[in-house]
Amino acid sequence: MNYYNELIKLTKKAYKKGEVPIAAIIVKNNKIISKAYNLREKNNDVLGHAEIIAIKKATKKLKTWHLNDCILYSTVEPCDMCKSIINEAKIDKVYFFLKNEKLRNSTTKYIFLNKIDNEFKKIIKDFFKKIR
């Protein structure tokens, strides 16, 4: 499964709905068990981050909040709030494609997947250009 392409699809959905175009998927045994994109605006929910929604879906599907056998892929390096939730869910591996320049604490154990033709960067730049 090409996780990058799945994240692109989700990111574009968020963009079309007026959400900050960030997406996340959770994988277990090479299978996507949950996927999400930001829903802060639609749901008026400060916790509507893609990573948190994906974690909630995964815990519901697996019937446990211990996601230590799972991998999280995110379009952008998770914010400090999401990092805390990821740690609480016991997710060991996190991969992301764009560094989060606004992080207060930029040190991370997460793995940056530097993709030269990073489509996420273009989508996010277009989104903020559109709303500003």
Cβ density class 37-46: b for 16+ within 10 Å, e for less: bbbbeeeeee
Cα–Cα dist 94/40, whole Å:
22
- The answer to whether 51 is a known catalytic residue is yes
51, 77, 88, 119: the active-site residue: 51
- Measured in degrees and rounded to the nearest 5, phi and psi for residue 99 equal -75, 145
Cα–Cα dist 22/29, whole Å:
24
Give the residue numbers annotated as catalytic, written as ranges.
51
